[in-house]
Every structure is written in structure tokens, then in C-alpha cells.
Amino acid sequence: MHIVTALIAGLIFGIGLIVSGMTDPAKVTGFLDLAGNWNPSLAFVMAGAILIEFPVFRFIGTRKQSLTGAPLRLPTDTRIDRRLIAGALLFGAGWGLAGYCPGPALASLTTGSMKPVLFTIAMLAGMAIFEILERVAAARKRTASSARGD
């Protein structure tokens, strides 16, 4: 049941991205072009999403499980550190250069265009590199800890 619910939610999200035009990278880059031909449509889409999601997140914060019975695991860490800032900068740079973020890129795969395919491959490669680096760092930490006798 949870897979079906996730599929339906993903389809609704994807359809929303397509209907709002957010799968068009020109809209995203137009939004970021403050000194040129600025396109505010992304701001309206974001504002609409916030208006819908704010009360939902307030409601979710009071629950221990989802409406389907799955446990809710919301993030609890509120620290802003170098890793978060570096990740945000990398995400923003990729978004600004390509005009895609992950959701619209995946929704755009249905168009048959090569740009979202290349973006998705690069995104998956970045995720794989991150996982490898995280595992290497964890292994180094374990090795250093065992060398100290912790």
C-alpha cells in the first residue's frame, strides 16, 4: 500500500511540475536572470506550494504516523554547518547552470530530450560520488578510533 501511495504522490507531483511549466529549464533560468528578462513564474509556483504545504506540515508535526500507518521520520537536525552550505551551493550552481532540479529533471525524462537525461546521469553520478566519499570518511573514522583504542 505504501508503494502505491508513494507512486500516486509522485505522479501528482510530476503532473504539477509539468502543468506549472517547471520542467522547462528556460523558466528556471529566466527566474534566476534578475538583470535580464526576469520570469517570476517560479516564484508563484513556490508561493503556491508553500501555501499548500505549510498547514500540512503543521498537522504532520503533531502525528507519529502517516495516514497510511507508516511511521513519520521527519528531520530533527537544525544545525547549519559547512557541509550543508557546501551542498546548498553545489545544488544551487547545478540548478542554475542546467535549469533543472531533481524533480523537474525526472519529470522531463518523459519528453525524450537529451538534456534531462544528461542531467539525471550527472545527478546520479554525484550521488554515487557522495556515497563513496561518505563511506571512505566513515572507514577512516573507524580506523582512527580503533587505533586510539576507543
- Say how far apart CA 128 and CA 86 lie, in whole Å: 17
| Burial track 1-37 (b if 16+ CB lie within 10 A, e otherwise) | eeeeeeeeeeeeebebbbebebbbbebbbbbbeeeee
The overall pTM is greater than 0.95: no
Q: Has residue 76 got a pLDDT over 90?
A: no
Q: Has residue 92 got a pLDDT over 80?
A: yes
Model confidence band, residue 150 (pLDDT cutoffs 50, 70, 90): low
Q: pLDDT digit string (tens) for 53-68?
A: 899 888 887 888 887 8
Model confidence band, residue 146 (pLDDT cutoffs 50, 70, 90): confident
Mean pLDDT confidence for 80-93: 91
Q: Percent of the chain beyond pLDDT 70?
A: 98
Query: How much is the mean pLDDT over the chain?
Result: 88
